[in-house]
């Protein structure tokens, strides 16, 4: 019986591919910057993080926790024409978060601030 369980476990593990290896990252910094992104507030000139995915990932989430203000999460990728913006509000307990299936490619991740203020943040990427 235990052998059947192990066989099923390993088949499922390898069938999931990249998701079988759970990965988590934390990046710290300051929200915002000098550049007005328009709909996603003020961002830095350079991304806060660059995420490179060599293959399709079936479950990945990116979350921002800021110590104040109205943080935003701007993700550009996997092409320059694809852009996702999620807004948050610390006074209402809303954290910007994007989750789902991600195609292979390069993603530029910016942690913005809607009102141009600067607050410490933690960016969490869970796979």
**4 falls within a domain:** no
pLDDT of residue 61: 97
pLDDT of residue 23: 82
Whole domain around residue 116: which residue ranges? 22-126
Find where tokens 């999620």 sit. Answer: 86
Of all residues in the chain, the percent with pLDDT exceeding 70 is 83
Are the C-beta atoms of 16 and 58 separated by less than 8 Å? yes
Q: pLDDT class for 95, splitting at 50, 70, 90? A: very high
pTM of the model: 0.81
**2 falls within a domain:** no
On average, the pLDDT of the chain sits at 86
Is 15 in a helix, a strand, or coil?
A: helix
CA–CA distance, 42 with 118 (Å, rounded to integer): 10
Q: Which of 58, 60, 88, 92 is nearest to 73 (CA)?
A: 88
In the chain, the number of structural domains is 1
Are the C-beta atoms of 112 and 102 separated by less than 8 Å? no
- Mean pLDDT calculated for residue range 9-31: 62
pLDDT of residue 22: 61
**10 falls within a domain:** no
**Structural element, H or E, at residue 3:** helix 2-15
**14 falls within a domain:** no
Q: pLDDT class for 93, splitting at 50, 70, 90? A: confident
**15 falls within a domain:** no
Is 39 in a helix, a strand, or coil?
A: coil
pLDDT of residue 11: 35
Q: Write the CATH number for 97.
A: 2.60.120.380
- Mean pLDDT calculated for residue range 5-13: 38
pLDDT of residue 91: 77
**102 falls within a domain:** yes
């Amino acid at each position: 019986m235990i052998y059947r369980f192990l066989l099923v476990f390993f088949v499922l593990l390898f069938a999931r591919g990249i998701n079988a290896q759970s990965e988590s990252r934390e990046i710290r910094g300051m929200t915002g910057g000098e550049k007005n992104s328009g709909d996603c507030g003020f961002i830095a000139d350079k991304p806060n993080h660059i995420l490179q995915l060599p293959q399709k990932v079936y479950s990945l989430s990116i979350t921002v926790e800021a110590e104040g203000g109205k943080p935003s999460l701007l993700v550009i990728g996997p092409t320059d024409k694809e852009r996702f913006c999620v807004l948050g509000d610390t006074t209402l307990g809303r954290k910007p978060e994007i989750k789902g299936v991600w195609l292979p490619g390069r993603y530029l991740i910016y942690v913005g601030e809607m009102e141009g203020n600067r607050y410490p943040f933690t960016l969490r990427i869970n796979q």
